[in-house]
Amino acid sequence: MAAALMLAIYPEAQPVVAQADDQSARMIDEYGDVNYEYEMARLDKFAVSLQNEPNAKAHIIVYRDRRSLPGLNYSYGFKAKSYLISTRGINPDRIVTVDGGIRLCLSVELWLVPPGAANPLLKWTYTYRLIEITATFKFDEHGYSLPHDLDAYDEFGSGSKGVAPGLLGGYAATLTKKPDSRAFIIAYAQYCKDCMSEGENERARVLRDPQGTTVKMLKEEKGVLINRYGISARRITTVDGGYRRFRNIELWIVPKGADAPVPSPTVIPMKRRKS
């Protein structure tokens, strides 16, 4: 299904294949678009199954709906895998994440695969008529936190604030499959009135990121693409998008000859008075 990330999709709403034999791989759990705490509870139970069968592997299959960004499959799988590794101590070699393609709604399947068993097959996904995309499209987006954010939690289990390098793996893989395309990354800083202040149970009057916040984050993301995934620096364009209510980074793919995306800030901070 990886090739579908670079292609337009026209669903026919037909089942493709059936699930794996009950004698081999077993689906332990399945959930949809749930909040962070509920998802972690489901993964905790899955980790118990893995601990009870130490020779089995975990297969995490993620299906997105038709309206979701292409990168959602990868980011959901990465988040679940990171949690199992960092919080539950599962060996990363035991965890396989799979882009299941598209269903009617977001769905995450947690499978247990014993040694020698056949891998679980994708089921009830869409068939595709594939036409190559020639227009710019947003692949994915994610938030970020800064070192001074005392109350920020690291939902990707990277162990540090800033960019979780593995989160860009799907984006890098898609760029590699499309060598004529360019990466276009837009970062937005935070300007938020009446937001919760860092580390306190009260609302701050204004939370405004310091100057240079987006520059730092863009440099970090660009460095990950270059040093970890081998994407040429000449293919990467970074843009300071201004301010939004909350920090955000957009990952765009620009095919050859297509127009670059336009930043869309949602907050225009008032000018500070000179003292």
Q: How would you class 245 by CB atoms within 10 Å of its CB: exposed for 0-12, middle for 13-18, buried for 19 or more?
A: middle
Question: Residue 42 belongs to what domain range?
Answer: 2-131
87, 113, 131 — which closes off a domain? 131
Q: Mean pLDDT of all residues in the chain?
A: 82
Residues 126 and 197 in one domain: no
Residues 107 and 222 in one domain: no
> What would the mean pLDDT of 148-165 be, rounded to a whole number?
52
Q: Tokens representing 83?
A: 């949690």
Q: In the predicted model, is pLDDT for residue 224 greater than 70?
A: yes
Position with higher pLDDT, 166 vs 128? 166
Q: In the predicted model, is pLDDT for residue 102 greater than 70?
A: yes
pLDDT in tens, 69-94: 999 999 999 999 999 999 999 999 99
> What would the mean pLDDT of 129-139 be, rounded to a whole number?
76
Total structural domains in the chain?
A: 2
Residues 83 and 164 in one domain: no
- Has this prediction a pTM greater than 0.85? no
pLDDT in tens, 22-49: 468 999 999 998 888 899 999 999 999 9
Q: In the predicted model, is pLDDT for residue 118 greater than 50?
A: yes
